[in-house]
Structure 1
Amino acid sequence: MTALEFNNLVQNIAQTLRPVAMNLTRDVDDAKDLVQETMLKALTNREKFKSGTNLKAWLYTIMRNTFINNYNKVIKRSSNVDSADYLQYLNTDENYITQNKGTATFVMNDINKAIANLSEEHRTPFMMYYVGYKYLEIADKLQIPIGTVKNRIHIARKELKQALKVYRQDA
């Protein structure tokens, strides 16, 4: 396949890439950029395409991988830790830093009391889920529908959130 034939085939298939790009990015401009970047990669890596294979699938794969790579770059950039809160400890002597385990004890006592105050029908599935049981396993052990298990765990979480609202960070 000549370079001209390859370019023409890629250009013809480009129109079918746009709806998929739109589905991936959920933004018109980002979708256009994704299709353009896919086309650029396809044309610059023409020698990697094997004649007789599915060109459309090859282009979709390039586009999907490009989208994933761009997404990962954005996530990596936006997940930087703000170290300004920790600068105060930079020049301090470690002997002056203490930990107050009493606070943690009070918190755990409050959590345990809140769990104990849950009704038995909510506490049992919640604790089973907490220790690692899956919804289906809880439903089988308690012989109740899986929807009931999910509902009871949801209600237990809501009641615990209400009982422990004093510990909320944004409060």
Structure 2
Amino acid sequence: MTSFDPTLRDDIIAAIPNLRAFAISLSGNVDRADDLVQETLLRAFANLGSFRPGTNLPAWLFTILRNLFRSEYRKRRREVPDSDGAFAATLTSNPDQDMHLDFEDFRAALDTLPPDQREALVLVGASGFSYEEAADICNCAVGTIKSRVNRARRRLGEMLAIEHAGDFGPDMTTRAALAAAERG
């Protein structure tokens, strides 16, 4: 076994939650995402010699994960056991809270984005990578990432009927009730 800096191991472990979130956004399936993260970690540890100290470790890990997902996608693209979602729809239950419904609406809208836009938005918007880091991960120009993020945000806003920041949060009825309670 090759010896390496123990802080590197700690940094890899610290990246797991963000890797998992990214894997879930790519695959749309928690179990598949966990498998992707596990395989990413195995490959990262097996190839630590190819990591250049002083470079961006999370970007290196996200690139491994993205490449694994793309390879898996190419292998599985002919597998479509539930293409119309009919079976999956029988497994869902209606949520009790509006926030959960809002999240489901967001998730459904996010899933309709083209993969390159969804990937860029998740990297920049949810995982906190800079445009430059996301461009490195996706192996494209910074301007391309900015364009993809902008198009993704605009499209999500259209699909979710969000015109300005005030549209986030409670619905109009709940806001009115809260305002009345504050006055009363």
Taking structure 1 as the reference length, the TM-score comes to 0.42
Kindly indicate whether structure 1 or structure 2 has the higher relative contact order, using CA contacts under 8 Å at least 6 residues apart: 2
Structure with the larger helix share: 1
Taking structure 2 as the reference length, the TM-score comes to 0.40
Q: Which structure has the larger Rg?
A: 1
